[in-house]
Amino acid sequence: MEGVTTLVGQGLYMAVAAVVGLMLARILRTDITLGCLIAGVLAGVLLPVLDYDTGLRAANLQQLVFFVILPVLIFEAAWQIEPRLLKRWLGPIFLFSTLGVVVCALIIALLTFFGINHPEGFPWIAALLTGAILAATDPVSVVTKLRQSDAEAELLTLVEGESLFNDAAAIVLFSLVLGVASHSVMEGGIETGEPLIGAADVAVYFVVTFAGGLAVGLLCGLVTAVVVLFLGSAGAGLMTLVLAAFGSFYLAEHVVHVSGIISVVTCAIVARVCLREQCETYLVHVEPTWDWLGLLFNALIFVIMGVTITFEMFAHQWLAILIAIAASIGARALAIFLVAPLAHLVGPQIPKAWRLIMGWGGLRGVVAVALVLSLPTELPYWWTVQSMVFGVVLFSLLVQGSSSAWLIGKLQKNDRC
Q: Say which CATH number the domain at 221 has.
A: 1.20.1530.20
Residues 139 and 113 grouped into a single domain: yes
Residues 274, 227: contact at Cβ < 8 Å? no
315 and 326 both lie in a single domain: yes
Residues 188 and 42 reside in one and the same domain: no
Q: In whole angstroms, how large is the CA radius of gyration of the chain?
A: 21
| Local structure of 120: helix, strand or coil | coil
Q: Which of 177, 198, 293, 183 is nearest to 239 (CA)?
A: 293
**Tell me, what amino acid is at 411?**
L
**Model's pTM, two decimal places?**
0.84
Q: What is the pLDDT of residues 256-299, one digit of tens each?
A: 988 888 899 899 999 999 988 777 777 877 888 888 888 888 88
Q: Which residue, of 14, 39, 55, is where some domain finishes?
A: 55
Domain identity same for 36 and 77: no
**Residue 136 dihedral angles phi and psi, to the nearest 5°:** -80, 125
What number of other Cβ atoms are within 10 A of residue 99's Cβ? 15
Q: Tell whether 22 and 142 lie within a shared domain.
A: no
Alpha-carbon span 393 to 283, nearest angstrom: 35
**Boundary of a domain, candidates 38, 55, 72:** 55
**What angle is formed at CA 138 by the lines to CA 35 and CA 175, rounded to 5 degrees?**
115
CA distance linking residue 108 with residue 120, whole number of Å? 18
**Model pLDDT for residues 120-160, shown as the tens digit of each residue:** 889 999 999 999 999 988 766 667 667 666 667 788 888 88
Task: Report the range of poorest mean pLDDT among 6-10, 34-38, 243-247, 387-391.
Answer: 6-10
Residue type, 17: A
Q: What is the DSSP letter of 377?
A: T
pLDDT at 334: 93
Whether residue 118 sits in one domain with residue 46:
no
Nearest Cα residue to 37 out of 26, 48, 47, 22: 22
Look up the domain containing 354 and give its range.
Answer: 56-416
Counting the structural domains of the chain, the total is 2
Q: What is the pLDDT of residues 351-405, one digit of tens each?
A: 888 888 888 878 888 788 888 888 888 889 999 999 999 999 999 888 887 787 7
Q: Are residues 361 and 403 in the same domain?
A: yes
- What integer pLDDT is reported at residue 195 of this predicted model? 44
For all residues of the chain together, what is the average pLDDT?
84
For residue 171, give every residue at least 6 positions away whose Cβ sits within 8 Å of its Cβ, in sequence order, or none.
Answer: 70, 136, 259, 261, 367, 371
